[in-house]
A and B are shown apart, each in its own frame.
Chain A
Amino acid sequence: MARVVVLGAGISGHTAAAFLRKWLGINDEVVVVSPLPRYNWIPSNIWVGVGLLRQEQVVFPLVPVYRNHGIEFKQARALALYPEGTDTNASPAVEIEWTLEGKAGERERVNYDFLINATGPKLNFGATEGLGPEKHSLSVCTAEHARETARVFLEQIERMKRGERKRFVVGTGHGTCTCEGAAFEYAVNLEFELRAHGVRDRAEVIYLSNEYELGDFGMDGLRIKRSGYVTPSNIFTESLFAERGIDWITRAHVKKVESGRAYYENLEGEDREISFDMAMLLPPFSGVGLKAFDRKGEDITPRVFAPSGFMKVDADYLQKPYEEWRARDWPRYYQSPAFKNLFAVGIAFAPPHPVSRPRVNPRGTPIFAAPPRTGMPSAMIGKAVAHSIADMIRGSDKPTHTASMAEMGAACVASAGANPFTGTAASMIVFPIVPDYERYPEYGRDLDYTMGEIGLAGHWIKILLHHMFLYKARLRPGWSLIPE
């Protein structure tokens, strides 16, 4: 009998827990620890943020799903790992603090045979002064944030209907943000909704990003074969923005946000500021701040976690210049080099380096997009790790399944307007996610499997994915047949 503890119930953690339950024996335990009792299909938060969906349409309660499938759920946040156990209990353990009403604040040590860290990111609004929904900007990172963003957005629309002019700034709230795809999606959806409400002529929409070029998305952009040319993704992204009348500012590190005004520096090291009536600015991510202690209680956090707070896994973390980065630097098994029964999936693992070329301005401020690890790769990594752990419980002495981001492709559908007849979405497929210049010397990717196009079909796919993946996450009949 083995116990696997999964910290986090986002896309990667929930996928891992569900497959573990499916593959492990009835006597094995799967325990999920998450501070929130709900699952959130985050890709659809964009539509909540413009008021097209209600918050309840992108979340559902986890407790009944886990109860019906024999997964133990603890509504708590993880505080510290004891991978060697303690003097009084030799079993590895994780210390958690309950967030469940009635038990809030109570601490417990949960023993494990295997542990998957799927804690996702800490939304690090604190990295930029004044950033975040509790201060002067909005976000769509959680369903609650998106609901508040929609409230403000609809209020602005009402004012515009009364004749006022408004400026919307959408983008990244720090020079090292990731998830530019979400910011891009929100900008074009917001613009589409302004038109739908008949107030587009009274609005300025400005995209403010840390990307070097539009369409970088933290993946160093992509190249697409189209109309007899191999064309970089910035051409398509700029085209869409120009067509929609969205202005853009790239290579920007937002360093301070005040009520109605954001201050940023650019890659040239110049100070700039921009006023706004509404700003949706994504935060940078960091690890959630888990600590690790050895048997004697000594702090071994630096051995288990990178300085960013993300967990070290089987990647090559040797610092080296961009020119020397290799696809094989990226992890394949997501196993901690320090403890063989410890894994990290989704955003919780520490990437060996960015994908986009790092750039620093003359003041030493880094301004480049961090690597994305959300959505499809998160789920694939969660599934591969679940498979490895199930095999290790059955006797394998090492992980058996790989899911390197340098060996897998990803599909991303970014909504550009939600309407079943006039809406569009950008459908993008890349293979592999992390460019491999040894295998594909010219562009780092297989151009036969890398594509992107904008159209109504993409919007239908986005709707299909919304319903299909919520069905799958609810673990309804046949859920495991839906590919991640």
Chain B
Amino acid sequence: MTEQVSEYTQQKPQMKPSFYATKPTGMTLFMRTFFPWQVWRFAWINLKMLVIIRRSHRSH
């Protein structure tokens, strides 16, 4: 048996799966908590959820 993670965490960054993951840019991170943009997203996501609920109930 091997202690995979101990080896794993000591590896160089480029040896880890996370190295190959898509990472957000500074702008993306900023927008995630940028208040005016998030107020708009709050309204938009809620609306989208309501549409989905309505569409799901329509099949009854």
Q: Which residues of B contact A461 (CB under 8 A)?
A: 42, 45-46, 49
B32 in contact with A424 (CB, 8 Å)? yes
- Contact at B38–A457, with CB atoms within 8 Å? yes
Take A273-B1, A429-B48, A461-B45 as given contacts and tell me if A449 and B33 are in contact as well, using a CB distance cutoff of 8 Å.
no
Query: What's the Cα separation between A245 and B17 when bound, in Å?
Result: 11
In the assembled complex, the CB of B4 is this many whole angstroms from the nearest CB of chain A, namely: 5
Please determine whether A274 and B4 come into contact, CB atoms closer than 8 angstroms: yes
A408 to B52, CA, bound (A): 8
For chain B, the bracket of interface size reads 35 or more
Nearest-Cβ distance from residue A254 to partner chain B, whole angstroms:
13
What residue of chain B has the Cβ atom nearest to residue A406's Cβ? Answer: B59
Contacts of A204 in B (CB 8 A): 5, 9
Beta-carbon contacts of A272-303 to B below 8 Å, as 1s and 0s?
Answer: 11110000000000000000000000000000
- Summed over the interface, the residue pairs from A and B with CB atoms below 8 Å come to a total of 122
B38→A456 contact, CB < 8 A: yes
B60 surroundings in chain A (CB, below 8 A): 384, 387, 401-403
Q: B25 to nearest A CB, angstroms?
A: 11
Question: Which residues of chain A come closer than 8 Å to B8, judged between CB atoms?
Answer: 247
Return chain A residues, CB-CB under 8 Å to B51.
449
Q: How far is the CB of B8 from chain A (nearest CB, A)?
A: 7
**Cross-interface CB contact of A407 among B35, B45, B50, B56, cutoff 8 Å:** B56
Alpha-carbon gap, A451 to B45, bound state (A):
9
* Sample of 7 more A-B contacts, CB < 8 Å, known A247-B16, A427-B45, A453-B45: A236-B22, A239-B24, A242-B18, A243-B23, A271-B1, A456-B38, A458-B45
Q: List 23 A-B contacts (CB under 8 A).
A: A239-B21, A241-B21, A242-B18, A243-B29, A272-B4, A384-B60, A387-B60, A407-B56, A410-B52, A449-B51, A451-B48, A453-B41, A455-B31, A455-B32, A455-B33, A455-B38, A456-B32, A457-B41, A457-B42, A458-B45, A461-B45, A483-B50, A484-B53
Binding site for B on A (CB under 8 A): 167, 204, 206, 235-236, 238-239, 241-243, 245, 247-249, 263, 271-275, 380, 384, 387, 401-404, 407-411, 421-422, 424, 427, 429, 431, 449, 451, 453-458, 460-461, 483-484
